[in-house]
Amino acid sequence: MSDDLTTLHDDGVLEIPVSLETGGNALDRGAILAGTDALHRVMRGNLKARAVLLTGKGKNFCAGGNVSDFASADDRREFLRGLAHDLNTFLSALYATQLPTVAAVNGWAAGAGMSIALHADFAVGGQTTRLRPAYPGIGLSPDGGMSWLLPRIVGLGRARTILMRDEALDAETALDLGLLSEIAEDDSLVSSRARELAAELSNGPTGAYAAIRHLLMTSSSNTLAEQLTAEAESIADLAVTGEGVEGVDAFLAKRIPDFPSARS
């Protein structure tokens, strides 16, 4: 499947561009709309994807919302409020998707571009990758879930400093903080490495990957008792899925599990 913007590759990787060459690699409304539609089709079972790959089509992964659009709006408050809610629809679908997600973070990830990168289960950077909140730089506060995700990844204190100082984080710092999952050996390899990782994950237990994301992301707001219960329910639910049955059976038969066949 390929519309003008999203592409479902033969190996089940759903590629969603979040920015295009134009506008300084700012978020592309059409791309986000297409990506949201594709993720909703996956949820309804109308699109048989097994992993999601987020990409930037220009020199940068994404420079966030298009600042010139903000300036030209008649009612800046309502315009930005509407954009943020539209972005939330996309990010809510990304968080809820029962698939592993990978971001190919080439160049800059700024503003909502950084927020989107934080939502990915895996973020592959390059030697010159940099992450920057950018919001305070233009007098704004974060959106796209950054104030929820960042403290859960780096801690509240470090998140406050990064946000309030609008820190530009280089690749090594971002890796050390857990904001990148790996750094490709060369900038030119970011896209291919992220694509390769998405393909690897598409052959794995995609339902288990999604369950791990939700257990981890809800753990900080759960008591231990609530988390123990959530884990017990999750492992029980997965045990009777196609992938869960295949994983156990393959182990006992001493063979490599065929998760893609078990899921479809």
Ligand X SMILES: CCCCCCCCCCCCC[C@H](O)CC(=O)SCCNC(=O)CCNC(=O)[C@H](O)C(C)(C)COP(=O)(O)OP(=O)(O)OC[C@H]1O[C@@H](n2cnc3c(N)ncnc32)[C@H](O)[C@@H]1OP(=O)(O)O
Query: Among the residues of the chain, which ranges form H helices?
Result: 29-43, 67-72, 76-96, 112-119, 146-154, 156-164, 171-177, 190-202, 206-219, 224-239, 242-252, 259-263
The tally of CA atoms less than 13 A away on the side-chain side of residue 240 is 4
Taking CB under 6 A as the criterion, the residue among 7, 11, 20, 23 binding ligand X is 23
Q: Which of 22, 3, 6 is nearest to 14 (CA)?
A: 6
| Residue number, 141 or 261, with CB nearest to ligand X | 141
Contact between 42 and ligand X per CB under 6 A: no
Token duo for residue 207: 């339902």
Ranges within 47-66 binding ligand X (CB under 6 A): 60, 63-66
Ranges within 101-140 binding ligand X (CB under 6 A): 108, 110-112, 132, 134-135, 137-138, 140
How far is CA 220 from each of CA 51, 214, 237, rounded to the nearest angstrom? 26, 11, 22
Contact between 36 and ligand X per CB under 6 A: yes
User: How far is CA 68 from its chain centroid?
Assistant: 25
| Residue number, 17 or 205, with CB nearest to ligand X | 17
| Residue number, 86 or 182, with CB nearest to ligand X | 86
Binding region for ligand X (CB under 6 A) out of 30-38, 157-165, 173-181, 226-234: 30-38
Instruction: State the nearest-atom distance from the C-beta of 78 to ligand X, in Å.
Output: 13
Residue identified by tokens 């960042």 is 150
Instruction: State the nearest-atom distance from the C-beta of 161 to ligand X, in Å.
Output: 18
**What would you report as the CA-atom Rg of the chain, rounded to the nearest whole angstrom?**
19
Query: What count of other Cβ atoms lies within 10 Å of the Cβ of residue 235?
Result: 13
| Residue number, 34 or 210, with CB nearest to ligand X | 34
How far is CA 152 from each of CA 54, 69, 85, 89, 215, rounded to the nearest angstrom? 21, 31, 22, 21, 13
Ranges within 68-97 binding ligand X (CB under 6 A): 68, 83-84, 86-87, 89-90
Instruction: State the nearest-atom distance from the C-beta of 49 to ligand X, in Å.
Output: 18
| Residue number, 8 or 169, with CB nearest to ligand X | 169
Instruction: State the nearest-atom distance from the C-beta of 66 to ligand X, in Å.
Output: 4
Q: Which residues of the shown chain bind ligand X in the complex (CB under 6 A)?
A: 23-24, 26-27, 29, 32-33, 36, 60, 63-68, 83-84, 86-87, 89-90, 108, 110-112, 132, 134-135, 137-138, 140, 143-144
